[in-house]
């Protein structure tokens, strides 16, 4: 059944299968039939649902359940990854969140296999993990800028698939989200960073140079979607020019992942009546 406001559920509408990024309407709102105000209203409602489900995941983790959920966020600068962390993940109990952001590898990280820092940051049982960038940078920025020779990055697609399959088999639901803004929207957002002192900290002069590599990034993102969207860990493509839509869409994907875990509240490990009696008599 279609979710409220959605004519097609987000999990279906955002599937990466067969999608050409070059043809993507980044200002679109696939599957959603309402406007911005309807979207924002629904988001407020769905945020409550997400938060309640995440509490259940956390509660089960505290009781020894080893399952977890990992949200992998990929996207060019200004696509809104930070906004998802702040507004979507920020709406749930921070105790239950394992957050990691991946930038240019440190000297120590460079001495290890590229998955080394990723494995260290995986969510613990009961946690909602979020990766702001991820191991996919090792087939994106690395491929675009030839940071390692092709012979080295080429086998990574299969290696990543095997790595994620193992993760999923061990009880982590992997929700992969690629966010796309148009070149024009990126310019507008970068300009805003230069016009607002409270946004200077987000600006990196190199972001302007990266715009020159846009077609190369599109090609690298396309290859990533085609080669690493698997049954165990499929990609979702999020048109991200409208922030209200990307936040709502990713909230729905997380709700779906958590609902599929069929989480109950963990049962008491003690006799409730007996403990009540003890307390009242104490
Ligand atoms: P930001 O997310 O804006 O803090 O930027 C992080 C930067 O780190 C981006 O320019 C990424 O492309 C870069 N980065 C992340 N992972 C890697 C990697 N494995 N190799 C090289 N650069 C990376
Ligand atoms: Mg940046």
Using the mean position of ligand 2's atoms as its centre, give its distance from the Cα of residue 144 in Å.
16
C-alpha 174/C-alpha 69 separation (Å) is: 6
Q: Which atom of ligand 1 is nearest to the CA of 210?
A: 10
Question: Is the Cβ–Cβ distance between 128 and 54 less than 8 Å?
Answer: yes
Burial class of 160 by CB neighbour count within 10 A (0 to 12, 13 to 18, 19+)? buried
- What separation in Å is there between the alpha carbon of 66 and the centre of ligand 2? 33
The tokens of 217 are what? Answer: 């990034």
**Rounded to two decimals, what is the model's pTM?**
0.97
Q: Which of the four CATH numbers 3.20.20.70, 3.30.300.130, 3.90.76.10, 3.40.50.300 does domain 10-281 have?
A: 3.40.50.300
Asked if pLDDT for residue 174 goes beyond 60, the answer is yes
Q: Closest ligand 1 atom to the C-alpha of 135? A: 19
Is ligand 1 within 6 A of the CB of residue 105? yes
Identify the bridge partners of residue 99 per DSSP, sorted by sequence position: 130
Q: What is the pLDDT of residue 159?
A: 98
Residue boundaries of the structural domains of the chain: 10-281
Mutate to test the pocket of ligand 1, among 141, 201, 203, 207 (most ligand atoms within 8 A of CB): 141
Instruction: Ligand 1, residue 206: give the atom nearest the CA.
Output: 10
The H or E element that residue 256 is part of is: helix 243-259
212 lines ligand 1 (CB under 6 A): no
Taking the C-alpha atoms of residue 127 and residue 184, their distance in angstroms, rounded to an integer, is 37
pLDDT in tens, 188-207: 999 999 999 999 999 999 99
What is the structure's pLDDT at 29?
Answer: 98
- The count of other CB atoms within 10 Å of the CB of residue 180 is 23
Distance, in Å, from the CA atom of 101 to the CA atom of 137, rounded to the nearest integer, reads: 11
Over residues 227-272, the pLDDT tens digits come to: 999 999 999 999 999 999 999 999 999 999 999 999 999 999 999 9
142 within ligand 1 shell (Cβ under 6 A): yes
């Amino acid at each position: 059944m279609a979710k409220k406001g959605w004519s097609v559920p987000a999990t279906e509408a955002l599937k990466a299968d067969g999608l050409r990024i070059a043809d993507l309407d980044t200002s679109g709102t696939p599957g959603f039939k309402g406007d911005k105000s309807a979207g924002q209203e629904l988001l407020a409602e769905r945020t409550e649902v997400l938060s309640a489900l995440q509490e259940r995941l956390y509660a089960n983790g505290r009781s020894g359940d080893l399952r977890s959920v990992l949200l992998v966020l990929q996207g060019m600068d200004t696509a809104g990854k930070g906004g998802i962390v702040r507004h979507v993940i920020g709406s749930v109990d921070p105790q239950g969140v394992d957050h990691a952001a991946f930038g240019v590898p440190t000297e120590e990280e460079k001495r290890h296999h590229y998955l080394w820092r990723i494995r260290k940051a995986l969510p613990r049982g009961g946690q909602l993990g979020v990766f702001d960038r991820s191991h996919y940078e090792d087939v994106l920025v690395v491929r675009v800028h030839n940071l390692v020779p092709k012979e080295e990055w080429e086998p990574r697609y299969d290696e990543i698939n095997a790595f994620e399959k193992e993760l999923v088999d061990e009880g982590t639901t992997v929700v992969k989200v690629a966010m796309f803004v148009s070149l024009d929207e990126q310019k507008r957002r970068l300009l805003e960073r230069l016009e607002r002192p409270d946004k200077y900290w987000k600006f990196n002069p190199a972001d302007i140079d990266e715009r020159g590599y846009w077609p190369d990034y599109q090609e690298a993102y396309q290859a990533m979607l085609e080669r690493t969207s698997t049954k165990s860990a499929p990609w979702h493509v999020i048109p991200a020019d409208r922030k209200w839509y990307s936040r709502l869409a990713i909230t729905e994907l997380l709700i779906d992942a958590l609902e599929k875990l069929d989480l109950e509240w963990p049962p008491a490990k003690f006799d409730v009546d007996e403990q009540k009696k003890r307390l009242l008599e104490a």
